[in-house]
Amino acid sequence: MARAANGRTVTSKDVARVAGVSQSTVSYVMSGKRPISEKTRRLVQDAIDQLTYQPNAGARALASQRTQVIAVVVPFDSTLGAAGLMAFIEEITLAARQHDHDVLLVTAEEGGDGLRRVAGGALCDAIVVMEVRTADPRAAIARDLRVPTLFIGFPADADGLHCIDFDFEAGARLLVTELAAGRRVAVLGWGPEATERDLNYVPRFRRAAQEAAAAQGVALDWVPVERDRVEAQVQDVLAAGHRSLLVTTELTRVVHAVRSAGLQPGTDLDLVALATDADATGFPVPVTAVSTHPRDVSRQAMAWLFGLLEGNSGEAQVRSVPASITRRRSVRDPLPGPTPPVPPA
């Protein structure tokens, strides 16, 4: 409900009077429980706008038997930082509001208990699970929940689950292929924090990168990036003769370290990254990159989730958001002549 300019509380009865319809019709327009003609729906909506009427959330929930809340289970970890998750959260929130839902963030490191709490306590209509681990204990619990649950990420055992994620495997193949002419690639990859958390995309990307390298006769040297040693690690990689770099994390600091060494991507060495377009283009030499498309993943995830809420579930399945590479100026044109020798390991 709302208050009119004279301070009086505005109710659905007032909306019905202004629209020239019954109070039950107003209720049906707002709940969607019965088909209403477009003309009548427009009359009711105009009256709502005119009176700035906002139904009481509690009453609306009781009437529809819904909470109008989407729970997002996303355990933030200070060692990895929350910045990379914010694009996901923003898009999820926008999509929720478009469907007249709010978002409840479940951020504590609760594992399966967090799922049981929000589902068992009737705190939400549906659940999004993020920061998925390869061996994720939440997968087994999600199969038994009564509310629709969708994973952004692929646990090893995805049987009976609805899962969506960026195609990290295809992204790895594209990036390795882009550097294949160099015959030896240093991967400045996710460090111990991501590995210890068993984040599902790390082994998926690494396995596909190794397979692509082996298929193309490329030597792949994986360097786990430590957040407090990025610059020193880049110096070690360059000193070892590497001139083909594939970066999956800490791109800004890697590029800074390369330029501090007096080298320019696209001129003195080849550099590609797994990075969003915004991150890849923020340098004097824009970086050739495969974007993980966090906003596209989130939008598709929410469209699917609201389909599940409306009963359009179909069978549980795994969906991938396709990968593509955007070529910029950080990779040198291939030189004519024989393939350069592989530097010694």
pLDDT given for residue 337 in this prediction = 45
pLDDT band at 33 (very low <50, low <70, confident <90, very high): low
Alpha-carbon distances of 258 from 86, 234, 246, rounded to whole Å: 28, 7, 13
DSSP 154: -
* pLDDT at 311 (0 to 100): 81
Say yes or no: do domains 69-166+294-322 and 168-287 share a fold. Answer: yes
Instruction: Give the residue, 252 or 45, on which the prediction is more confident.
Output: 252
Domain 2-64: which CATH number of 1.10.260.40, 3.30.450.40, 1.10.3720.10, 3.40.50.300: 1.10.260.40
Is 168-287 a domain of CATH 3.40.50.2300? yes
Burial class (CB in 10 A: 0-12, 13-18, 19+), 98: exposed
- Assess contact for 164 and 151: CB atoms under 8 A: yes
Q: What is the pTM of this model?
A: 0.78
Report CA torsion sign: 139, 141, 144, 149.
Answer: negative
Q: Please check whether residue 71 is in contact with residue 104, taking contact to mean a CB–CB distance below 8 angstroms.
A: yes
Distance CA 87, CA 299 (A): 11
Q: Rounded mean pLDDT of the chain?
A: 86
> Among 68-72, 122-126, 155-159, whose mean pLDDT is lowest?
122-126
pLDDT digits (tens, 9 = 90+) for 139-166: 999 988 889 999 999 999 999 999 999 9
Q: How far apart are CA 49 and CA 43, in angstroms?
A: 10
d(CA 88, CA 96): 12
Instruction: Give the three-class secondary structure for 222.
Output: strand
Percent of the chain with pLDDT over 90: 61
The bridge status of strand 288-290 relative to strand 325-326 is antiparallel
167/7: higher pLDDT: 167
DSSP string, 61-86: HHHHT---EEEEE----TTT-SGGGH
Of 27-36, 62-71, 98-107, 320-329, which has the strongest mean pLDDT?
Answer: 320-329
Query: What's 133's DSSP letter?
Result: B
Structure tokens at 270: 């080849």
93-102 mean pLDDT = 92
3-state helix, strand, coil in the chain (%, to 5): 40, 20, 40
Greater pLDDT, 202 or 313? 202
Listed by start position, the domains of the chain span: 2-64, 69-166+294-322, 168-287
CATH fold of the domain at 69-166+294-322: Rossmann fold (3.40.50)
Residues with Cβ within 8 Å of 328's Cβ and at least 6 positions away in sequence, in order, are 280, 281, 285, 286, 287, 288, 289
